[in-house]
Amino acid sequence: MALCFALLDPQAHDRDGFHCGEASLDAYLKHQAGQHQRDGIATTHVLIDEESSAVILGYCSLAAAQLSLADLQPEDRKRLPRHPVPAIRVGRLAVATAAQRRGIGRLLLGHAVRCALSLREQLGIRVLVVDALNERASGFYRDYGFRPTGPDGAILYLPLGKS
């Protein structure tokens, strides 16, 4: 099994066959991801097996974003200007039911971080932001070092370090 990432291609990838157990994430991939990609709102990155490249094992959508400086933890605000903090947002991240519990979520998150770090070489990006769907998702992101922006813990960020 040779896994690889690709930008969503609605003609080549089987969006209708993707099911992750969360209806809103399935619906996004099927009905909005392609349109958002065409309109420059977000890109959707799919993880596929090169041998059966139509089958989507998981996906993440990425978009430009910003975070209020006040949303950062005090230690992350040091030496930053009093402006919104440039960010990349992980809009959605989902793993197909058949591929769950195999580290696919970790691979998708790693891909999102790599994309953000790569873009950081060309423009200012300080954090990776995510809106956690629920407490379970919040725990997943916290396990990888994401920090909450507030007491509810739904919006989290990962500092991308200093250049």
pLDDT in tens, 17-76: 999 999 999 999 999 999 999 999 999 999 999 888 899 999 999 999 999 998 999 888
Domain ranges of the chain: 3-159
Return the number of other C-beta atoms located less than 10 Å from residue 148's C-beta: 17
Q: What average pLDDT does this structure show over 105-109?
A: 97
pTM of the model: 0.92
Residue 155 scores a pLDDT above 80: yes
Residue 79 scores a pLDDT above 90: no
- Architecture per CATH, 3-159: 3-Layer(aba) Sandwich (3.40)
Check if the beta carbon of residue 88 is closer than 8 Å to that of residue 128.
yes
Residue 163 scores a pLDDT above 60: no
Check if the beta carbon of residue 71 is closer than 8 Å to that of residue 155.
yes
Query: pLDDT at position 151, please?
Result: 76
The pLDDT mean for the chain works out to 93
CA torsion sign, 31 to 44 to 18 to 96? negative
Check if the beta carbon of residue 85 is closer than 8 Å to that of residue 72.
yes
Q: What average pLDDT does this structure show over 107-117?
A: 96
Check if the beta carbon of residue 48 is closer than 8 Å to that of residue 55.
yes
